[in-house]
Amino acid sequence: MVVLAGVSVIVFALVHLVPGDPIRLALGTRFDQATYDALRARSGLDQPLVEQFFGWFGRALGGDLGVSFRSGETVTSLIAERLPATLTLAFASILVALLIAVPLGTISALRPRSFVDRVATVLSQIGISVPEFWMAIVLILVFAGTLGWLPSGGYVPLTEDPGAWAQRLLLPAVVTGVVSGSVITRFVRSSVLEALGADHVRTAQAKGLPQRQVFTWHVLRNALLPLVTVTGVQLAYLLSGVVVVEIVFSWPGLGQLALQAVQARDYPVLQGAILLFAVVFLLINLVVDLLYTAIDPRIRR
């Protein structure tokens, strides 16, 4: 809660420090003093900053994030419009990431310093280092350009046309999934390695338990905690940080909305978006903590 209040103050301050008068920008060439004053009064920009802040914060708590300067729509509806695309991409990416990371990380940990392990390490290093917008451009060139198998971008809701939805989702999900998956692979490898070396695993092996049982009950369960943590961090990042990939694939998500809001000095939209991201970040942290207690009975106490 303290964090949320702090975030709100900083968001508000930051956004209002942005030079450029949004109303003047919105009016453009149709500028005349009377309309300008009227609009200014309507959006509350003529009030002192502190009053503006408390007004905004109070309404935000009630779910009213204000009205966009540019389009006149409410910020809540703008965000709601973009939310499905962002959620789809984020969850598809994390799925791709886990599908890559869990098997790859586990195999490398089971055979440390083997050929597979070395290959996996190199691949994850490459995945972390490759600029995702570059990978996106290359994939578009290959799959949409040369091969012509997939569309180069855009978004179709699942309910409209599931086939087109999947086609358009595949490339962006792979791009962000590979990057996140590379990060997660490293965590899976090191946490499985650590769990393998623990005393209780040796005890279980000494008791003569079958390898499979030792692995599922004693190793994987212990390796799950760091995995949950890093997956949470990655999910938070995917929900907020894939602006660049959204732009390259013309994916109508929240990142794109926020970038447009910055360019148009659309304060209410930018404030709303950043606030939402911060809330999401805190929520994910909360869920991670709850999952911890579910996985590890020692934390429950």
Partner 1 sequence: MTGQPVPQTAPSPDATEAGVRSTQRPPRPRWRETLGLLARNPTAAVAATVLLLIVLMAVFDETLAPAGPNEISVEDRLQAPSWEHPFGTDDLGRDILSRVILGAGVSLRVGFLAVAFALVVGALIGLLAGFYGRWVDDVLMRFMDILFAFPAVLLAIAVLAVRGPGAGNTALAIGIVYIPVFARVTRASVLGVREEVYVRASRSVGASDLRLLTRHVLPNAAPPIIVQTSISLAFAVLAEAALSFLGLGTQPPNPSWGLMLAEGRGFIDIAWWLAFFPGMAIFLTVLCFNLLGDGLRDVLDPRQRTLMAGGGR
Complex with partner 1: residue 83 or 259, whichever CB lies closer: 259
Q: Is 208 helix (H, G, I), strand (E, B) or coil?
A: coil
Using CB under 8 A as the binding rule, whether residue 101 contacts partner 1 is answered as: no
CA-based torsion, 32, 34, 40, 42: positive or negative: negative
User: How far apart are alpha carbons 151 and 143 in whole angstroms?
Assistant: 8
Using CB under 8 A as the binding rule, whether residue 29 contacts partner 1 is answered as: no
Which residue in the set 25, 107, 209, 247 belongs to the binding site for partner 1 (CB under 8 A)? 247
Which residue in the set 85, 90, 173, 183 belongs to the binding site for partner 1 (CB under 8 A)? 183
Which residue in the set 80, 126, 158, 294 belongs to the binding site for partner 1 (CB under 8 A)? 126
Q: How many CB atoms lie within 10 A of CB 255?
A: 24
Which residue in the set 123, 130, 156, 220 belongs to the binding site for partner 1 (CB under 8 A)? 130
Complex with partner 1: residue 226 or 252, whichever CB lies closer: 226
Helices then strands, counting H and E runs in the chain, come out as 15, 0
**Long-range contacts of 23-29, Cβ-Cβ distance < 8 Å, separation of 24 or more:** 23/69, 25/264, 25/265, 26/69, 26/70, 26/264
Tell me the angle at which helices 221-240 and 267-295 cross, rounded to the nearest 10 degrees: 170
Complex with partner 1: residue 17 or 34, whichever CB lies closer: 17
Using CB under 8 A as the binding rule, whether residue 3 contacts partner 1 is answered as: yes
Using CB under 8 A as the binding rule, whether residue 295 contacts partner 1 is answered as: no
Complex with partner 1: residue 215 or 266, whichever CB lies closer: 266
Determine the length of the chain.
301
User: How far apart are alpha carbons 175 and 208 in whole angstroms?
Assistant: 44
Tell the residue number behind the tokens 């994850």, with chain if given. 124
The runs of H, that is alpha helices, within the chain are: 2-17, 22-27, 33-42, 49-61, 75-110, 115-129, 132-139, 162-196, 199-206, 211-213, 221-240, 243-248, 254-263, 267-295, 297-300
Judged by CB under 8 A, the chain residues 138 through 157 that form the site for partner 1 are 138, 140-141, 145
CA-based torsion, 226, 228, 232, 234: positive or negative: positive
Shortest spacing between CB 250 and partner 1, in angstroms: 12
As given in the structure block, the two tokens for residue 283 are: 């929520």
User: How far apart are alpha carbons 189 and 109 in whole angstroms?
Assistant: 5
Which residue in the set 12, 155, 237, 249 belongs to the binding site for partner 1 (CB under 8 A)? 237
Q: Mask 188-227, x = binds partner 1 (CB under 8 A)?
A: --x----------------------------------xx-
Shortest spacing between CB 111 and partner 1, in angstroms: 19
Using CB under 8 A as the binding rule, whether residue 269 contacts partner 1 is answered as: no
Q: Considering CB under 8 A, how many residues would be counted as binding partner 1?
A: 59
Which amino acid does the sequence have at 146?
Answer: T
Q: Which residues of this protein are in contact with partner 1, per CB under 8 A?
A: 2-4, 6-7, 10, 14-15, 17-19, 125-126, 128-131, 133-134, 137-138, 140-141, 145, 179, 183, 186-187, 190, 225-226, 229-230, 232-233, 236-237, 240-241, 243-244, 247-248, 255, 258-259, 262, 265, 270, 273-274, 277-278, 281-282, 285, 288-289, 292
